[in-house]
Structure 1
């Protein structure tokens, strides 16, 4: 569960919801706080306007008493709003806790804590005042109005509590819905995993059903199926390789055992034993060649690259190879024609080994008296050499497999002392070690096999 994608997505949904709710709640809190403050100020301004009007326009006798009566009436109608009058004339002094309120106004404060109720408790009042100069009907007066801030504070705290609870509830709901949506959305992935788990050694042909996958997973399914195809091909090649290795090693081993048993069946003179040992030596040499070639191919498959590269003429290397196999060419009555040339960085020992294998392959599969044409060319990125010789046609589907280990076009697996089916595999390994490729063609009774090497590492 720790690494569950559904839980991770649910957590991300919850985090996103928490951030969204927090931002929205903060914005609403700011708006509500401003509106409550504006409403408080509007109440205070309304009371101040009433007081200022009465004080400014009142002319009748007993104005102070009439104003106090009016303020008592206004206070009874709206207990949360209070009024105060401050003046040197006692007739124009009004309101409880006037000294506290007057001191706060004088100090420039906009609020004051006053005792309210029985038993009294302190409550915060938001206050504001104004002053009127004396006229013929009254003395100079300072008038003050205040509104109880506690109900507004209670409203704001209630809103804050509601926002917090709704944020938590919304976050939990987003997490639950996110988990549910993620489980549904990841359903195809789970089906993909289930299909993949059903693929095993006994059911290698099974593949993922791409039409049943969503578009987003189709590419993944295609890549997975392609990987399975490659693995299946490698599995088949490995199985074939094991059979071929067993076959190739079985023949010389059987020859060794058989010849040794015959030699031991009765007394032999020195010449006869020497002949048996000579024959056994040939079989042992063949075994050693197979093992050496297999080790070389294993090293190449592990990513070993050609070293000690030397810029060399490919035509000259071909000439040295022809000279080395001159005896075989004479016995087959064959000749070699070289066309073109190129200079490439090569490891000469590896390169000559590949050329020798290609020329031996051409000699083995050509009719006596034929001519092998060696063509050398390339482009700015690579140089290539190919050997063309007349031979029996090769089917197109068999051409790519010519470079597989122990593969022979003739399925009867005829063996010879010089051929054990690894020659062209070694050519491919040499090409790969030089960052090159191999190729084969069969057209109009002419078979062409060759490889390329990179001109730059």
Structure 2
């Protein structure tokens, strides 16, 4: 069975609600009308009972009753829809004002109803003399057939009103729902037309109802993220092509030149060593790309072991000490803390930051490693002196293949611009964050990590 559309569901819901409300209102009105008729009949019968008791006062035996019979017939002739039956104390019928009165009229004192031979009666029983139950009994039978016909017509009208109101509400509800859901159809059209060349489309959320404006804003934000991701992917593909083009061209050119004429064994050996360097750089680039791909898919699962950050930092500073000495750069470390993390991954992240800091620190400069064990987590910063980074470039430092230094050569076999991206992936895998600050002659990479267990 095909599923109902949202407009159809809303229309049916409106129709059902209207039908229920109309039906309840009709039933209440019908019950109120019936109760009102009963009250009117009771008032009429009470008034007639007073008149009959006055006419039959003292006629508590058949002889006396026969003397009052003419007056009683005159009294009953004034109202044709009202009949009277008088019973003696022994239960015998003394008088029937109408010949076709049912034999099975109720005898219980009070008001009751009876249906007989297609006629509806309101029957009222009372003693001839108030308070005396062993004397003659008066039974008044009021023909209320016209009341019943009115109530039946009213019930038919109620059902007709319920049906017509439900139908009208369904049609109006369908129109209102279709008009109100027009922004959703617009969103559907935009979503159906989304492709690589149309990610800049946006929904006019300011013209939408308040209930859909938030959804439209979320949809626009999703399109913005998709557009940004696609642009990054396109730029990423172009960067890979640029990075691999130069070493591949070098390999092809060097190999073709080597093969132009016969050469000595030493020349071939030198050519192979040169080609090997380019191939090693390309292999490292591919490995880095695979590493970032694993990070994008959440496949980096760091092992957890207690680490002394001061010891790890000192080991790396000792490794870079010769390079720092040649570059006339001073290395320092302050603070200590313990963290639960993956030693090899964290060493790789810190090594990338230290290598980056040493390359951009001028002679007589300084590289500082600071470790702060805070109440909310661990803070580790690696700062270096030198030319600052413009604020506009800071958000892009962690993009793949991005190089803040325009002097860097395209396709350099030394650095491909993936170190900071890998570092960010490692820090995120440990549940931390990393940011860059560059002010007052210092460039500082700040890492915030949770303490862990």
**C-alpha distance after superposition, 1:242-300 (max 9, x if no partner):** 11111112222222222222222221222112111111211111111111111111111
SS of 2:404 mapped into structure 1: coil
1:338 counterpart = 2:333 = yes
* Structure 2 partner of 1:445: 441
**C-alpha distance after superposition, 1:25-63 (max 9, x if no partner):** 22112211212222333333333322211100679xx96
Cα-Cα RMSD: 3.1
**Partner Cα separation in structure 2 for residue 431 and residue 90 of structure 1:** 109
Q: How far has the Cα of 1:369 moved from its partner?
A: 4.5
SS of 1:308 mapped into structure 2: coil
Selected match of 2:413 from 393, 417, 425: 417
* Structure 1 partner of 2:19: 18
SS of 1:296 mapped into structure 2: helix
Q: How far has the Cα of 1:401 moved from its partner?
A: 0.8
Q: Indicate how the Cα distance of structure 1 residues 352 and 82 shifts in structure 2: closer, same or farther if over 3 A, else same.
A: same
Selected match of 1:174 from 152, 159, 169: 169
Q: Which aligned pairs between 1:216-227 and structure 2 lie closer than 5 A? A: 216-227=211-222
* Structure 1 partner of 2:35: 34
Deviates more, 1:62-71 or 1:399-408: 62-71
Q: How far has the Cα of 1:368 moved from its partner?
A: 3.7
Q: Which structure's residues are more often helix, by fraction?
A: 1
Q: Indicate how the Cα distance of structure 1 residues 89 and 432 shifts in structure 2: closer, same or farther if over 3 A, else same.
A: closer
1:387 counterpart = 2:390 = no
Q: How far has the Cα of 1:427 moved from its partner?
A: 0.8
* Structure 1 partner of 2:103: 100
**Partner Cα separation in structure 1 for residue 127 and residue 293 of structure 2:** 105
* Preserved contact between residue 86 and residue 94 of structure 1 (Cα < 8 Å): no
Q: How far has the Cα of 1:112 moved from its partner?
A: 4.8
Deviates more, 1:261-270 or 1:346-355: 261-270
**Partner Cα separation in structure 1 for residue 213 and residue 451 of structure 2:** 39
Q: How high is the TM-score relative to the length of structure 1?
A: 0.87
Q: Which aligned pairs between 1:24-63 and structure 2 lie closer than 5 A? A: 24-56=25-57
**C-alpha distance after superposition, 1:66-122 (max 9, x if no partner):** 6434444455443321112234899953343679256x41799945555xxxxxx45
* Preserved contact between residue 64 and residue 91 of structure 1 (Cα < 8 Å): no
Selected match of 2:293 from 289, 298, 323: 298
Q: Indicate how the Cα distance of structure 1 residues 335 and 83 shifts in structure 2: closer, same or farther if over 3 A, else same.
A: same
**C-alpha distance after superposition, 1:326-376 (max 9, x if no partner):** 443344333311122222112101000001111111122222443211122
**C-alpha distance after superposition, 1:397-416 (max 9, x if no partner):** 10111111000013454154
**C-alpha distance after superposition, 1:126-167 (max 9, x if no partner):** 32233347xxxxx96332211124322222222211111111
* Structure 2 partner of 1:426: 422
Deviates more, 1:423-432 or 1:33-42: 33-42
Selected match of 2:451 from 413, 437, 455: 455
In structure 2, runs of 5+ residues without a counterpart are none
* Structure 1 partner of 2:245: 250
How many pairs are equivalent?
Answer: 444
Q: Which aligned pairs between 1:64-213 and structure 2 lie closer than 5 A? A: 64=65, 67-87=68-88, 92-95=94-97, 96=99, 100-101=103-104, 104-105=106-107, 110-112=112-114, 114=116, 121-132=117-128, 141-194=136-189, 200-213=195-208
Q: Indicate how the Cα distance of structure 1 residues 22 and 111 shifts in structure 2: closer, same or farther if over 3 A, else same.
A: closer
In structure 1, runs of 5+ residues without a counterpart are 115-120, 134-138
Q: Indicate how the Cα distance of structure 1 residues 171 and 67 shifts in structure 2: closer, same or farther if over 3 A, else same.
A: farther
Deviates more, 1:239-248 or 1:29-38: 29-38
